């Protein structure tokens, strides 16, 4: 969807209609002029200019046309329509010069950058961005659409990279940032070849201040000033003038005559350099400190409140401390087990809660013991609550009245 598209009411009021671009010729009919002054849209007519309509205008150009001037003031539009227009212009035998008169945005920007030469009028604008698209479907459809858009972005970025001599990834980043370029910035970035002055006659060198950001990193080498080589031939008179100026400056600093020959000049420079020579400073020898004696080391240790232990004794002390820690841990474990066993026997806690209460005792011994002491005994039944009888005795007692001996008695 093109955000610059005119609504129907605005379309009725504008004198510019999306018709087949009109052409006119100059220079005895060898130069033709095409105007791209509409959105680029495959529907054409009211919606904008289509590739089909634009190519129809190209086909009407005289065979003797050697140059096409493409005047652009377009917000852009559909990518594929723009690519078709660009390739139709590339395919034509004539040299194509694009001139941005208002704005070259979106697909209009890569059409402008893709032809033989791009000039941009003062105060005109250039705008680039990532491709847009619409998709209806499931998650797989959306994922594929995303990949398709990334493919289109890289294709478009390659046009800018080819124009500027840069790399595709750099222009992908600029497209992602939706970058605007003034006329001067477009030339500095390498997108445009020159700025057209208001009289549209002379190309103006780009020396104006950049109004938004530094784009020199995107410029190709052709837009950078080159330094002349040391071997490059120059004007002999200019070189002699430089040497005379240099000799006069040396004469003022070293006190010899301005008409002195080269040998005198070099001698004066050598003498001045010798006077400024600094004698090297001798570095004193490094004296290594003597190794301290055992007595002096002990004195320092005792002075600081420390003591000395022989290595074997220290190792034994550490081992004993470790064994003591282990014994203490074992004692604590046995004590905790005894507390839990007593609580289970008294019916304060259930046997199934044994591990849980052991962990509580380990983390908080005092608090857990208080908690266990507060629990009532026989909370979990452990004493006999009634009397029972064995099934065998019960049956015998129930059938006792059948006993004949009892009956006889």
| CB proximity list for 226: less than 8 A, separation 6 or greater | none
CA distance 224 to 215: 12
Q: Give 276-327 pLDDT, tens digit per residue.
A: 655 666 777 766 666 777 777 778 777 887 777 778 877 888 888 888 888 8
Are residues 19 and 168 located together in one domain of the fold?
yes
Catalytic residue among 129, 182, 194, 223: 129
Are residues 36 and 167 located together in one domain of the fold?
yes
Last residue of some domain: 200, 223, 246? 223
Catalytic residue among 106, 109, 182, 194: 106
Are residues 50 and 189 located together in one domain of the fold?
yes
CA distance 70 to 54: 11
Residue 173 resides in a domain: yes
Are residues 215 and 318 located together in one domain of the fold?
no
Residue 291 resides in a domain: no
Q: Are 119 and 98 in contact (CB under 8 A)?
A: yes
Residue 258 resides in a domain: no
Are residues 333 and 204 located together in one domain of the fold?
no
Q: Are 68 and 60 in contact (CB under 8 A)?
A: no
In this prediction the pTM is 0.46
Pairing of β 194-196 and β 203-204: antiparallel
Are residues 108 and 216 located together in one domain of the fold?
yes
Are residues 338 and 215 located together in one domain of the fold?
no
CA distance 363 to 379: 24
- Comparing C-alpha atoms, which of 347, 344, 346 is closest to residue 356? 344
Residue 82 resides in a domain: yes
- pLDDT at 180 exceeding the cut of 70: yes
Last residue of some domain: 177, 208, 223? 223
- pLDDT at 220 exceeding the cut of 50: no
pLDDT value of position 91 = 94
Residue 111 resides in a domain: yes
- Comparing C-alpha atoms, which of 116, 95, 21 is closest to residue 60? 21
The percent of residues above 70 in pLDDT, for the chain, comes to: 69
The CATH number of whichever domain residue 80 belongs to comes to: 3.90.226.10
Confidence of residue 29 (pLDDT cuts 50, 70, 90): low
Q: Give 337-384 pLDDT, tens digit per residue.
A: 999 899 888 888 888 888 888 888 888 888 888 888 888 888 777 665
If one counts the domains in the chain, the total is 2
Q: Are 18 and 74 in contact (CB under 8 A)?
A: no
Question: What average pLDDT does the chain have?
Answer: 77
- Comparing C-alpha atoms, which of 136, 103, 139, 133 is closest to residue 121? 103
CA distance 276 to 281: 15
Are residues 31 and 173 located together in one domain of the fold?
yes
Residue 155 resides in a domain: yes
CA distance 276 to 77: 72
Q: Which helix (H) or strand (E) holds 34?
A: strand 31-36
Task: Give yes or no: 106 in active site.
Answer: yes
Residue 280 resides in a domain: no
Count of helix runs (H) and strand runs (E) in the chain: 15, 9
Last residue of some domain: 223, 242, 273? 223
- pLDDT at 51 exceeding the cut of 80: yes
Residue 68 resides in a domain: yes
Average pLDDT over residues 213-230: 39
∠ at Cα 18 (16, 24), nearest 5°?
75
Q: Which helix (H) or strand (E) holds 405?
A: helix 404-408
Phi-psi region of 56 (alpha: psi -120 to 50; beta: other; left: phi over 0): alpha
Are residues 21 and 143 located together in one domain of the fold?
yes
- Structural domain including 195 reads 8-223
């Amino acid at each position: 969807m093109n955000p610059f598209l005119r609504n129907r009411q605005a379309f009725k009021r504008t004198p510019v209609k999306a018709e087949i671009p009109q052409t006119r010729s100059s220079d005895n009919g060898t130069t033709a002029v095409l105007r791209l002054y509409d959105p680029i849209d495959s529907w054409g007519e009211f919606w904008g200019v289509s590739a089909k309509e634009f190519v129809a205008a190209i086909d009407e150009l005289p065979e003797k046309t050697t140059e096409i001037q493409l005047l652009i003031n377009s917000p852009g539009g559909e990518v594929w329509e723009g690519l078709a227009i660009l390739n139709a212009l590339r395919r034509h035998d004539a040299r194509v010069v694009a001139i941005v008169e208002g704005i070259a945005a979106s697909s209009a920007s890569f059409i402008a950058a893709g032809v033989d030469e791009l000039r941009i009028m003062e105060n005109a604008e250039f705008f680039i961005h990532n491709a847009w698209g619409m998709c209806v479907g499931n998650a797989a459809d959306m994922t594929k659409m995303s990949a398709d858009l990334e493919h289109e972005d890289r294709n478009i970025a390659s046009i800018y990279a080819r124009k500027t001599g840069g790399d595709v990834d750099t222009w992908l980043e600029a497209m992602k940032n939706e970058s605007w370029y003034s006329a001067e910035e477009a030339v500095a970035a390498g997108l445009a070849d020159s700025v057209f002055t208001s009289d549209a006659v002379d190309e103006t060198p780009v020396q104006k201040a950049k109004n938004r950001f530094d784009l020199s990193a995107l410029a190709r080498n052709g837009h950078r000033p080159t330094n002349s080589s040391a071997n490059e031939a120059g004007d002999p008179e200019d070189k002699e003038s430089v040497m005379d100026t240099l000799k006069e400056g040396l004469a003022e600093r070293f006190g010899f005559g301005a008409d002195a020959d080269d040998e005198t000049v070099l001698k004066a420079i050598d003498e001045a350099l010798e006077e400024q020579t600094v004698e090297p400073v001798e570095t004193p020898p490094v004296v290594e400190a003597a190794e301290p004696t055992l007595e002096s080391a002990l004195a320092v240790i005792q002075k600081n409140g420390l003591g000395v232990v022989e290595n074997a004794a220290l190792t034994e002390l550490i081992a004993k401390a470790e064994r003591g820690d282990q014994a203490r841990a074992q004692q604590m474990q046995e004590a905790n087990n005894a507390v839990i066993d007593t609580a289970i026997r008294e019916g304060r806690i259930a046997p199934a809660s044994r591990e849980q209460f052991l962990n509580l005792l380990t983390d908080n011994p005092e608090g857990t013991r208080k908690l266990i002491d507060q629990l009532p005994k026989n909370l979990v039944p452990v004493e006999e609550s009634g009397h029972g009888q064995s099934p065998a005795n019960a049956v015998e007692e129930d059938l006792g009245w059948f006993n004949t001996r009892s009956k006889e008695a």
